[in-house]
């Protein structure tokens, strides 16, 4: 007998009064333990149970003001309308989240606020993508087309996520020590200038390090011809750097405390520092790195319910509130939706809604090199 039928029969026996609640739970628990030991079958059982009447949907994001905005403007009205609770979780990074998903049963995690096109492709490679019914997400029409197309290209024309916001990872510098003119003149090479030895930082992420290594060796990051020259630049940066930061909070602390004078930084975090009164300059060099974040729906999730939640999250009121909370422009097309003055003032905001001025990771190119480059970066970082 298949697990779904067994579960349904057990449930109907409970409803008919053939067995009491205690016996039902005991039988279900025993089945769960047995199935849990072998993994997959329990996943099918829980999936079936969820698919029948999903009482809750799990959403994972970056926490902080972003989660608060989601809770207030999207999750609460969604729960009021549908009766489905949104359980909110947080993660420290896309890598950490993917490790958790890998260790979980299908359907345990549903939606996540993930980074860019690269991770979308990575999830697709791991067969974790779903297929959204776009008819259930009318607010998708308000999203910048240039952000949707790269996702469609990966999943063969369908979508497993909706773009939600975008930003840049560009040069951040302390104006007390580095002038705007110097930053503009040196661009990415400012971070390998030995005049600032011991006062340079950098994100401890292999993709960003290689991207900037390519710019510093005058190469196109999406078409690197001489990878050894890139590693050399990363080594130079490593030897000049005080610290590789691993979170936005650490980036802000290092700049605010003047431990470092220059690093690449996330546009929203730098804006937050500027609003706190720190005289931090921010400059998108030629070939500066743009990225988008999306709300991703994982395979095995209750699709109709997730699509409805996505539509709530893409409501202009919600997307703008989140954008103002995290200082990253929303994925809403400024030609279709009236955005606030605060959103228009955010770094990386593109009033044309085309994002033509930004460079993004080419997911196919970067994913094809991911295994080798991430491993090599780990060694180069340690002095090799």
Enumerate binding residues for other proteins (CB under 8 A). Answer: 95-96, 98-99, 102, 122, 125-127, 198, 204, 206, 238, 241-244, 246, 253, 257-259, 368, 370-371, 374-375, 378-379, 381-384
Residue 86 phi, psi dihedral angles, 5° rounding: -105, 115
In whole angstroms, the minimum distance from the beta carbon of 7 to other proteins comes to 25
- 172, 175, 208, 353 from 168: Cα distances, Å: 11, 19, 11, 15
Instruction: Pick the closest to residue 353 from 361, 362, 344 (CA basis).
Output: 344
- Name the residue nearer to other proteins (CB basis): 81 or 375: 375
- Name the residue nearer to other proteins (CB basis): 242 or 303: 242
Answer for the pair 361, 214: CB distance below 8 angstroms, yes or no.
no
In whole angstroms, the minimum distance from the beta carbon of 258 to other proteins comes to 5
Please tell me whether residue 255 adopts helix, strand or coil conformation: helix
In whole angstroms, the minimum distance from the beta carbon of 68 to other proteins comes to 23
- Name the residue nearer to other proteins (CB basis): 20 or 276: 276
- Name the residue nearer to other proteins (CB basis): 24 or 244: 244
Instruction: Pick the closest to residue 293 from 57, 56, 128, 60 (CA basis).
Output: 60
Render 130-189 in DSSP notation, one character per residue: ----GGG-GGGGGB-HHHHHHHHHHTTT--SEEEEEEEEEEEEEETTTS-HHHHHHHGGG
In whole angstroms, the minimum distance from the beta carbon of 139 to other proteins comes to 32
In whole angstroms, the minimum distance from the beta carbon of 239 to other proteins comes to 8
- Name the residue nearer to other proteins (CB basis): 234 or 314: 234
- Name the residue nearer to other proteins (CB basis): 124 or 189: 124
In whole angstroms, the minimum distance from the beta carbon of 232 to other proteins comes to 15
- Rounded distance, CA 254 to CA 245, Å? 8
Strand 56-61 with 85-90, pairing:
parallel
């Amino acid at each position: 007998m298949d697990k779904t039928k067994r579960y349904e029969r057990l449930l109907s026996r409970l409803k008919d009064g053939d067995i009491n609640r205690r016996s039902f739970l005991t039988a279900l628990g025993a089945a769960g333990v047995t199935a849990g030991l072998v993994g997959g079958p329990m996943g099918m059982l829980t999936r079936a149970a969820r698919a029948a009447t999903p009482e809750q949907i799990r959403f994972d994001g970056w926490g902080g003001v972003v989660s608060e905005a989601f809770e207030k403007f999207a999750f609460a009205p969604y729960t009021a309308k549908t009766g489905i609770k949104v359980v909110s979780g947080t993660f420290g990074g896309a890598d950490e989240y993917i490790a958790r998903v890998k260790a979980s049963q299908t359907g345990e995690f549903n939606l996540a606020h993930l980074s860019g096109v690269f991770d979308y492709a990575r999830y697709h490679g791991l067969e974790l993508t779903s297929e959204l019914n776009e008819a259930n997400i009318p607010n998708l029409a308000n999203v910048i087309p240039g952000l949707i197309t790269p996702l469609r290209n990966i999943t063969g024309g369908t979508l497993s996520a909706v773009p939600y916001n975008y930003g840049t990872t560009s040069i951040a510098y302390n104006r007390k020590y580095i002038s705007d003119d110097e930053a503009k003149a040196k661009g990415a090479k400012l971070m390998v200038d030995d005049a600032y030895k011991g006062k340079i930082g950098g994100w401890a992420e292999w993709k960003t390090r290689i991207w900037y290594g390519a710019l510093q060796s005058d190469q196109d990051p999406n078409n690197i011809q001489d990878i050894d020259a890139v590693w050399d630049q990363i080594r130079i940066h490593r030897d000049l750097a005080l610290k590789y930061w691993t979170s936005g909070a650490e980036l802000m602390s290092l700049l605010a405390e003047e431990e470092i004078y220059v690093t690449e930084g996330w546009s929203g975090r730098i804006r937050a520092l500027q609003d706190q009164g720190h005289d931090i300059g921010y400059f998108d060099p030629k070939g500066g790195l743009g990225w988008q974040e999306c709300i991703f729906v994982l395979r095995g999730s209750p699709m109709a319910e997730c699509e409805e939640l996505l539509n709530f999250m893409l409501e202009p009121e919600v997307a703008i509130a989140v954008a103002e909370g995290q200082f990253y422009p929303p994925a809403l097309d400024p030609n279709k939706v009236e955005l606030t003055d605060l959103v228009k003032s955010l770094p990386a905001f593109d009033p044309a809604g085309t994002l033509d001025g930004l460079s993004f990771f080419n997911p196919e190119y970067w994913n094809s090199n991911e295994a080798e480059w991430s491993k090599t970066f780990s060694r180069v970082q340690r002095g090799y």
